Amino acid sequence: MLKMRWLLTTFFFTALFLGQPNQARAQSQESSGQGLIWYESLIGSSSSLGTVTRFDSTLGYNFNRHFAADFGVPVLFVHASSSTTTTGYRSANGIGDVYTDLRFTLANPAVNFISAIRGSLPTGNSSNGFSSGRVTADWNNHFDRTFGHVTPYAELGVANTVPQSAYFERPFTTLGLTGHFEGGASINLWRSLDFHASAYAIEPSGQQKVFSKLLNRQSGSPGRGASHGGVFQNAPETVGSADIARDHGFSLGFNASAFHYVDFALGYTRSVSFDLNTVYFGVGFNLARFLGSSSRNQGGK
């Protein structure tokens, strides 16, 4: 735990002191047209249940200012906390579901709009909860507008799985029709250092399947009792009504960039429905820009 705290503190203060001025940051985030997308990221989410870490490699191309496509391969590392390994929890590593994104971007003085469709193939192991075992799709729509140092934003989408967020890796995978919504704002504090706060809601419909990334299927041991309907803490796989996947909560965090090439994130997510507190961190490397590509990474969820 002390080592994890030291790593998170190091990421945060490195980002703080290596931040770039506002003008340079704005230029680094503006797409210049055609160019390579190559982005490598390491994202970790830690709670009382354990830690889920995702190493993500994304490669693609910006065809122009409006259209882009990429392909990604996530690798997951799950480590149950020492207090839960004796109650059916376990650790596992492996590839997740490979994915492809198709993205349309429209920058406008009134509102910026990004619409993205992600399709994923079931390359992950469903027995580890890394996949639902089915092809999944997510259509997400993002809106934002900047007023001085404040950028309010809203997202809404529909999918047949609960999507993972940019930095928060959920300890479960789902299969079933789902609407997802998020609204909040980002505040530029200093140079490239931003603070953001948002609230989210996951609204499933019809039958849902929930696959735990934490429970050991082979041992047959149940997990500890779940509160507020967290079935992923009770069973490796659960089939039920929409309530088992429904969730709402909020997130607070800091984002920063260094030298246009490196991104940092540190924050906290509270799932009210599952009574779960999660600390997340992330570090990403824009290798396309490092190699001189004129375009930026446009990856997201």
Domains of the chain: 2-290 (2.40.160.40)
Q: Which residue has the higher pLDDT, 136 or 87?
A: 136
Q: Please, which pLDDT band fits residue 89 given cuts at 50, 70 and 90?
A: low
Q: For residue 147, what pLDDT is reported?
A: 95
Which pLDDT score is estimated for 214?
A: 85
Q: What is the pLDDT of residue 281?
A: 95
Q: What is the mean pLDDT of the chain?
A: 84
Residue 18 has pLDDT above 50, yes or no: no
* The pLDDT value given to residue 226: 46
pLDDT at 86: 46
Task: Give per-residue pLDDT as tens, 143-158.
Answer: 999 999 999 999 999 9
| pLDDT bracket for residue 217 (50, 70, 90) | low
Q: pTM of the entire structure?
A: 0.82
Residue 7 has pLDDT above 50, yes or no: no
Q: What pLDDT band is residue 30 in, cutting at 50, 70 and 90?
A: very low
More confident of the two residues 30 and 202:
202
Given a cut of 60, whether residue 207 has pLDDT beyond it is: yes
- What whole-number distance in Å separates Cα of residue 163 and Cα of residue 168? 10
Q: Give the model's pLDDT for residue 5.
A: 47
- The Cα 110–Cα 108 span in angstroms is 5
In this prediction, residue 259 carries a pLDDT of: 85
The per-residue pLDDT for 8 is 43
Q: Give the residue among 262, 297, 296, 299 at the shortest CA–CA distance from 282.
A: 262
Task: Give the confidence band of 235 by pLDDT, cuts at 50, 70, 90.
Answer: confident
What is the band of 166 on the pLDDT scale with cuts at 50, 70, 90? confident
CA–CA gap between residue 98 and residue 54 (Å, rounded) = 12
- 262 pLDDT band (50/70/90 cuts)? very high
* The predicted structure's pLDDT at residue 88: 61
- Give the separation between CA 155 and CA 139, rounded to whole angstroms: 11
64 pLDDT more than 70 = yes
| pLDDT confidence tier of residue 93, bands split at 50, 70 and 90 | very high
Cβ-contact 43, 169 below 8 angstroms: yes
Q: Quick one: pLDDT at residue 295?
A: 53
128-152: average pLDDT = 96
The arithmetic mean of pLDDT across residues 98-123, rounded, is: 96
The answer on pLDDT for 28 being more than 50 is no
